[in-house]
């Protein structure tokens, strides 16, 4: 058994257990959290190298042969997602050292964060559709407690909306799983890929629609997104950042996985549906962002908008389009996490997220302003930053198949994204700060170190993705080709049991 197939789950789980045993030792919890996040990133990189060099990796837990046992299977797409999970986990773990208050630290913040990371990694690694549901529930439980940790009114309101809609998603997911099992008698995704082409058409389409709705709620697609901007701005910035970076992308990952591996037999029905949803998700998300005047609410609506670009590649479903989606997901996770981290620093300096009450950040902290511009321009898709290349790949793929409407929508949404980012810039950074309001206490050197180090690291990675794009694009293209060739995945999983 390749140890790298187990470590992305075992490392965050062990970290959470160690932090639980040190419940009252806050310094020890901090150290364990940082060390565990670094360990997760290291194991994720090792797994990516293994998959890149040796092909898709699979293991049958407990020695039961596929499709009867619990399968872990990782292709390049899954390995890329696990690496970016490790990156975000490490960045947020470092940022948390200076941003999470003692009350939340004392009530299980660090164990919960690593349980969340374990659930995310498990979702990217599972080869069984029922275990995907189980990992989703692990994420839901951890994220719900993280969202309401602290017990403030706004948090509780946001957490109730968040958990209610996600419970609806879980019910739809479980119904689809039951229907699928009743139709073909298996839940192993590789085995399903072999058996579904011979199953009854109407029932299969019903299961596909249920999965689309379940994953769509978790990904915050149109019109199922309203829970996200009502909840993601309520917890502390470190929690908002990890939610914004990872949780909706698990929903997108699941949609890409099932609609390339399982439900690829009726593209004339599924692809137009996905493309229309992508266009509406882009449009409504960016219009919501334009109408807001709160730093984190604007960023929350942009999460919705950018999900549309990721779905665009799935709807086009060509090798270039899927490569564009994979590249865009990687770029967006990094940039969106960084913007939420920057919003937390702005709040720490000025005591508010309301743009009307902010100002003067450029004059007082020009370095922070530059870091914001790097992330904001990348989100809007300005060259030569990473967002430009992700959008270019998707637009080129759309033009190749003559999908002119979705291309036009993507270009218009990019302009509106830039407008909303300039709104934050003008109000929060450029104008003078209003006299009313008082900021929290001064930021110590130690706090500056842990607040800025992850922001600098993510900004550097954004620049690297933009200035040295080719190796990342080649990796995304190979991952897309694997997705479009399910037989390779099936051989890796079913052959692992022999």
pLDDT tens string 455-466: 999 999 999 999
Beta bridge partners of 70: 61
Q: Which of 4, 15, 18 is nearest to 38 (CA)?
A: 15
Owning domain of residue 332: 3-493
31 inside domain: yes
Residue 497: DSSP 8-state: T
pLDDT in tens, the chain (498 residues): 566 789 999 999 999 999 999 888 888 999 999 999 999 999 999 999 999 999 999 998 877 887 888 899 999 999 999 999 999 999 999 999 999 988 888 888 999 999 999 999 999 999 999 999 999 999 999 999 998 887 677 777 878 888 888 889 999 999 999 999 988 889 999 999 888 876 667 888 888 899 999 999 999 999 888 888 888 888 899 999 999 999 999 999 999 999 999 887 677 778 899 999 999 999 999 999 999 999 999 999 999 999 999 999 999 999 999 999 999 999 999 999 999 999 999 999 988 999 999 989 999 999 999 999 999 999 999 999 999 999 999 999 999 999 999 999 999 999 999 999 999 999 999 988 887 655 666 788 888 999 999 999 999 999 999 999 999 999 999 999 999 999 999 999 987 444
Q: List CB contacts of 118: < 8 A, sequence separation 6 or more.
A: 9, 12, 13, 16, 138
112 inside domain: yes
Run of H or E residues at 61: strand 57-61
DSSP notation for 71-138? EEEE-HHHHHHHHHHHHHHHHHHHHHHHHS-HHHHHTTHHHHHHHHHHHHHHHHHB-BHHHHHHHHHH
Tens-place pLDDT, residues 36-79: 999 999 999 999 999 999 999 999 887 788 788 889 999 999 99
498 inside domain: no
219 inside domain: yes
What's the domain count of the chain?
A: 1
340 inside domain: yes
DSSP notation for 189-248? HHHHHHHGGGS-HHHHHHHHHHHHHHHHHHHT-TTS-TTTTTTTTSS-HHHHHHIIIIIH
């Amino acid at each position: 058994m390749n140890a790298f197939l187990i470590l992305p789950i075992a490392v965050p789980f062990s970290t959470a257990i160690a932090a639980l045993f040190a419940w009252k030792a806050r310094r020890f919890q901090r150290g364990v959290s940082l060390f565990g996040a670094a360990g997760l990133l290291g194991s994720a990189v090792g797994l990516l190298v293994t998959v890149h060099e040796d092909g898709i990796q699979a293991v049958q837990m407990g020695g039961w042969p596929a499709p009867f046992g619990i399968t872990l299977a990782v292709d390049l797409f899954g390995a890329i997602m696990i690496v970016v999970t490790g990156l975000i986990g490490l960045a947020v773990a470092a940022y948390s050292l200076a941003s999470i208050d003692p009350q939340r630290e004392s009530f299980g913040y660090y164990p919960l964060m690593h349980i969340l990371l374990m659930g995310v990694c498990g979702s990217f690694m599972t080869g069984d559709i029922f275990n995907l549901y189980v990992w989703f529930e692990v994420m839901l439980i951890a994220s719900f407690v993280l969202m309401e940790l602290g017990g403030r009114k706004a948090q509780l309101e946001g957490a109730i909306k968040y958990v209610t809609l996600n419970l609806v998603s879980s019910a739809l997911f479980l119904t689809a799983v039951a229907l699928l099992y009743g139709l073909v008698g298996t839940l192993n995704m590789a085995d399903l890929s072999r058996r579904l082409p011979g199953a009854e058409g109407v029932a299969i389409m019903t299961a596909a629609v249920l999965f689309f709705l379940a994953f769509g709620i978790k990904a915050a697609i149109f019109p199922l997104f309203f829970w996200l901007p009502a909840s993601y701005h309520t917890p502390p910035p470190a929690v908002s950042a990890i939610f914004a970076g990872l949780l909706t992308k698990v929903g997108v990952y699941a949609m890409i996985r099932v609609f390339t591996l399982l439900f690829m037999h009726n593209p004339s029905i599924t692809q137009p549906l996905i493309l229309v949803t992508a266009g509406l998700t882009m449009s409504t998300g960016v219009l919501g962002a334009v109408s807001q005047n709160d730093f984190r609410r604007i960023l929350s609506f942009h999460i919705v908008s950018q999900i549309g670009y990721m779905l665009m590649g799935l709807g086009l479903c060509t090798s270039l389009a899927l490569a564009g989606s994979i590249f865009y997901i990687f770029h967006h996770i990094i940039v969106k996490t960084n913007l939420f981290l920057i919003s937390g620093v702005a709040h720490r300096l000025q005591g508010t997220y309301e743009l009307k009450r902010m100002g003067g950040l450029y004059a007082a902290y020009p370095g922070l302003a530059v870091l914001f511009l790097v992330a904001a321009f990348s989100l809007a898709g300005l060259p030569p930053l990473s967002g430009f290349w992700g959008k270019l790949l998707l637009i080129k793929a759309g033009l190749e198949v003559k999908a002119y409407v979705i291309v036009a929508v993507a270009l218009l949404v990019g302009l509106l994204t830039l407008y909303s980012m300039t709104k934050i810039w003008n109000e929060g950074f450029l104008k003078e700060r209003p006299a009313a309001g008082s900021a929290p206490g001064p930021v110590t050197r130690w706090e500056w170190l842990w607040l800025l180090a992850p922001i600098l690291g993510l900004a550097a990675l954004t620049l690297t993705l933009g200035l040295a794009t080719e190796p990342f694009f080649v990796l995304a293209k190979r991952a897309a080709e694997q997705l479009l060739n399910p037989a390779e995945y099936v051989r890796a999983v079913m052959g692992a049991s022999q």
